[in-house]
Chains A and B, each alone.
Chain A
Amino acid sequence: EAQVTQNPRYLITVTGKKLTVTCSQNMNHEYMSWYRQDPGLGLRQIYYSMNVEVTDKGDVPEGYKVSRKEKRNFPLILESPSPNQTSLYFCAFQSGGNYEQYFGPGTRLTVT
C-alpha cells in the first residue's frame, strides 16, 4: 500500500528560524505536491514536482522552497518563516494515470 509520511507532525518555531518539513513516499510515484490548509481558504497548492529535479510553483509559493533530488522525497523548506505561514501542511503524491492524489497525515506548523 502506497503511503506518505511527513515529519515533523507538529512544530512550533519562531520568526526567521529556517525549517524543513520532510515528505517521503514508499513507492516510486513521479508526481508529488505540497498544500497548505487554512480555515476559510481551503487547500491551496504551494509547489509540485513532476519528477526528480523538476519542480514548479503552485498558487501560493511565496516564502517556500522545495527540492526533488530523489523520487521518494520532496522536502518543503521555509528559509525565513513568518507568522502568516502558520498553517496545516499536506504532502501528496499522484497515482499514475488515474490523476488521483493521496495525502499524508499533515504537519501543523505554528510560527510565533
Chain B
Amino acid sequence: EDQVTQSPEALRLQEGESSSLNCSYTVSGLRGLFWYRQDPGKGPEFLFTLYSAGEEKEKERLKATLTKKESFLHITAPKPEDSATYLCAVQAGGSWGKLQFGAGTQVVVTP
C-alpha cells in the first residue's frame, strides 16, 4: 500500500532560520511527487512536481529535492509569510489521478 510520512509534524522557525521538511514515501512506481502549501481554511496551493530521483525544483525561498525514498522541502531564510502547512503527495504509476497525501508539516515563522 502506498504510504507518505511527513516530518516533523510542526516546525517553529525564527525569521531567516533555514530548515528542511521531510517526506518519506513508499509507492509502487512513482509517477510524481507533489508539494503543496496550505493556509488555514483554504485549498492546497500547488508548489512543485518532482518526477525522478535527483530532480530539484526551486521557487523563491523554497527548494524541493527527490531521492528514491524521500523528498525534502528546504526553506531558505524564511519570512513570516512562509508560515503555512506544507503537504506532500505522491501519485503511483498504477493509479492514475489518485493522490496519496501525507499529514503535513505546520510551519510557523516568527519575526
Q: Let me know if B31 and A104 touch, CB within 8 A.
A: no
Interface band, chain A:
20 to 34
Mostly helix, strand, loop or mixed at chain A's interface?
strand
Q: Let me know if A108 and B41 touch, CB within 8 A.
A: yes
Interface band, chain B:
20 to 34
Of the residues A4, A101, A105, A108, contact of B99 by C-beta under 8 Å: A101
Of the residues A41, A94, A100, A106, contact of B43 by C-beta under 8 Å: A106
Q: Let me know if B43 and A104 touch, CB within 8 A.
A: yes
Residue among B45, B96, B102 with max Cβ neighbours from chain A (10 Å): B96
Cα distance, A50 to B96, chains bound together (Å) = 9
Cα distance, A102 to B97, chains bound together (Å) = 12
Interface residues of A in 10-65 (CB under 8 A from B): 31, 33, 40-45, 48, 50, 58
Cα distance, A31 to B97, chains bound together (Å) = 7
Q: Let me know if B43 and A98 touch, CB within 8 A.
A: no
Instruction: Enumerate 24 A-B pairs (CB-CB under 8 Å) in ascending A order.
Output: A4-B43, A33-B97, A33-B98, A42-B102, A42-B104, A43-B87, A43-B99, A43-B101, A44-B101, A48-B97, A50-B96, A50-B97, A88-B41, A90-B43, A99-B32, A99-B34, A100-B49, A101-B34, A101-B99, A103-B43, A103-B44, A103-B45, A105-B42, A106-B43
Q: Which residues of A contact B (CB under 8 A)?
A: 4, 31, 33, 40-45, 48, 50, 58, 88, 90, 94, 98-106, 108
Q: Which residues of B contact A (CB under 8 A)?
A: 31-32, 34, 36, 41-46, 49, 87, 89, 91, 96-99, 101-104
